[in-house]
Chains A and B, each alone.
Chain A
C-alpha cells in the first residue's frame, strides 16, 4: 500500500497540480518513515513542527497551491487540533469566499507494535471536525484511487493511512502497475545506503478514481451487515469467510470514506439483514461507530432483528507495547469473528 500511495502522489504531482508534499522526513533522503514519499519531485523536509506543517499547508492552500502535508504519526497531530478546526472552517467562516484544496495524510492505528504513542487512532477526533473530508483505505487500489480523488478536491481532505496495512500487497493491480513485484520494487523503491544519485523509474500510471463518500460492498451476504474500515477491514473479511463455513452469511462493507460516508449502502444492507456490527479500532467512547449505531437505531429501528453493536478499541490511555497488551486493546480476528457470530445468532 505504501507503494500505491507513492504512485498516487507521483501521478498527482505530474497530473493533478500537486505543488508540495512535505512534512518531517518526507523529502530525500528518507522519503517518509513508511516510504510513501520516496522519489517524489515535490517532496521536501519540514522542521519538526506539526503546527508549522499544518499551518504551512493552510497557507499554501490559501495561496492557491495544492499541498499535501504529512504528520508522521497521527499521535503527534494532537497539538494542532485547533488548526485543523480552523482549516475545516475556512470555507464556512468566510461565507464561501475562501477554500482550502489541501490533503493531510497521516498513519494511524496499531499493528506495528508502536506502543503508547505510535498506535493511536484518529478517526474519532477527525470526525468531530466539520468541513473536512476523511478517507481511510484498506487496499492498495483504494489507497491509490482515494488519494487521486483527495488531490482533486477543493476542500481539506484527511487521508488516514492504516499503518498495519502499509506493507500489504493488493489482490488488484493499480492501472499501469507492473505485475512483477520485484520489478516494481527495483523501479520505485529507494536503495539502501547512498541515495543521493538515485532516481525512481515510474511506471506509466493511469488515473483511477474512488469517489469520496462511496463505500465498497466487499462481500454480499444476507445474515448480518458488518461495516468496517482501515486495519480491521481485512480482519472482518477473514472472519466473514470463516463464518461462511458455519453457515453465517455476513455482508461486509468497507466504508473507505468516513466523511461524507455512504449511508445509503449501509441502510440498504441493514434493511436486508436486520443486524449491524460496526468495527474499528479507535477507543470505544465517543467513537465514530457510535454515531453509526445511533443512526441505525434512529432510522432503521423497526427493521432490526437485534441491537446494532460496536466493536472497537478499549478505552485505555494507550496501546501497551507487550504483545498481550496490544492484542487486548484493539479488536483482533478472534474477537471480530466472535462478535459477528454472536450478533448473527442473537435472538430476543
Chain B
C-alpha cells in the first residue's frame, strides 16, 4: 500500500508559525506511532505466549523519538554513545532501526540482532551505532557512561555520551557516581545525563521514596546545567534536547535533563502490562496538537496508525517461524578471539 505520508498533506491557510519544520513534525509523529505500534505488538506477543517477558517504553515516545533524531549516529569516538535503559525502543527506531529486531528479541530467536535470544526485550545493543549493551540492573549504566565520555573528552570532536535511566533508579549510588565523575574540576565530561521520570519504581510511588524536589536539582551542587522538562511533548523535548546536546557537544561539559513522562502500560508484563488511562498519552496529545495546528488531519493520522500496525503485524508473522538459538550456542562468545 502507498505510504500515507507520501500523499498530499492537508494545510490550514490560517495556521500559526510552527515551532519546528513541518516535515520534522510529521516525521516525529510517524516515529511515535511506529514505536507505539511496536510496543503494543510486543505486549500482544507476550500475551500470546510468544515471549517470556515484556518491558518497554510506551509513554516515553515523545521524548525518546527526538532523542534518536538528534543523536549523532555512528561507531567510535566521533559519534554519540548511548547507554540506554530498557524503555528506549522509540530512540532506536528514530535512529533508523527496523522494528523487526525488537520482535526477534521478544521472541528470543537466534536472529535477535541485539543478543541472539539471550536477553530480554528492550535490552538493545548495536556496536555499529555506539549503542552499548543494555542491562536489567537499573542504573549501572550511570556508572559506565563516564568511561565512554572520558575517552571522548580526550579525543575531542563533537561526539558525546548520552545515558538514560528512570527516576526510581536514581536512588542507587551509581547516579551520584555519574554526577560526580562527570563534573570533576578541570575534567568535566561531555555527557547528557537523562532521567525519564515516570514517578514510579515498579509499584512504589516516587513521592514516597524520593527526598529531593526534582531529580534535576541533584545536579546543582555539581555545578552542572540542569533542567526539568515536559517529556510528554515532543516539540518541547526536541527543542530542549537540541539545546542541551548543543551545549554538551560544544562546551564538553555535562547536562542533567529530567523529562517528565508517562508509564502507559505499567512497569512490565510482571505487573500485567495493562493500559493506564489516567496517565497522559503523548501520542494522543500530540495528535490533537497536530490537528489543531493543521499539520495532519485525523484521517491522515489514522492511516499512519493503520500502516504501522499492519507493517509490524506482518513482521511479527515473519518472526513467528524463525528458529530459537541452538542449545550448543551457550558456549559461543564467552571470550572474544583476536581478530
Known contacts A58-B147, A59-B144; is-contact A95 B118 (Cβ 8 Å): yes
Q: Does A72 contact B (CB under 8 A)?
A: no
Interface readout for B125-148 with A: 1 if CB under 8 Å, 0 if not? Answer: 111000011010100101111111
Interface readout for A42-70 with B: 1 if CB under 8 Å, 0 if not? Answer: 00000101011011111111111101000
Q: Does B337 contact A (CB under 8 A)?
A: yes
CB-nearest residue of chain B to A97: B127
Cβ of B147 and Cβ of A60 under 8 Å apart?
A: yes
Q: Does B150 contact A (CB under 8 A)?
A: yes
CB-nearest residue of chain A to B127: A97
Segment touching A, from B61-69, B177-185, B235-243, B254-262: B177-185
Cβ of A94 and Cβ of B115 under 8 Å apart?
A: yes
Cβ of B151 and Cβ of A47 under 8 Å apart?
A: no
Cβ of B116 and Cβ of A86 under 8 Å apart?
A: no
Cβ of A93 and Cβ of B144 under 8 Å apart?
A: no
> CB-CB < 8 A to B132: which residues of A?
59, 62, 98
A131 CB contact (under 8 Å) in B119, B142, B332, B335: B335
Cβ of A95 and Cβ of B144 under 8 Å apart?
A: no
Cβ of A82 and Cβ of B333 under 8 Å apart?
A: no
> CB-CB < 8 A to A97: which residues of B?
125-127, 133
Q: Does A83 contact B (CB under 8 A)?
A: yes
Q: What separation, in Å, do the CA atoms of A58 and B334 have in the docked complex?
A: 16
Distance (whole angstroms) from the CB of B53 to the closest CB of chain A: 15
User: Can you identify 27 A-B contacts, CB atoms within 8 angstroms?
Assistant: A47-B177, A51-B177, A55-B143, A55-B146, A58-B144, A59-B144, A60-B151, A62-B81, A62-B148, A65-B150, A82-B140, A90-B133, A91-B333, A91-B334, A91-B336, A92-B332, A92-B333, A92-B334, A94-B114, A95-B115, A95-B116, A95-B332, A95-B333, A97-B125, A97-B127, A99-B336, A154-B336
Q: Report B's interface with A, CB cutoff 8 A.
A: 76-77, 81, 83, 112, 114-116, 118-119, 123, 125-127, 132-133, 135, 137, 140, 142-152, 154, 161, 173-174, 177, 180-181, 184, 332-339
Closest 5 CB pairs of A and B: A59-B147, A55-B143, A95-B116, A99-B336, A63-B151
Q: A64-B77, A83-B143 are in contact. List 19 more A-B contacts (CB 8 A).
A: A19-B154, A47-B177, A47-B181, A51-B177, A52-B146, A54-B143, A55-B147, A56-B144, A56-B146, A56-B181, A59-B148, A62-B132, A62-B148, A63-B151, A82-B137, A91-B333, A92-B333, A98-B132, A131-B334
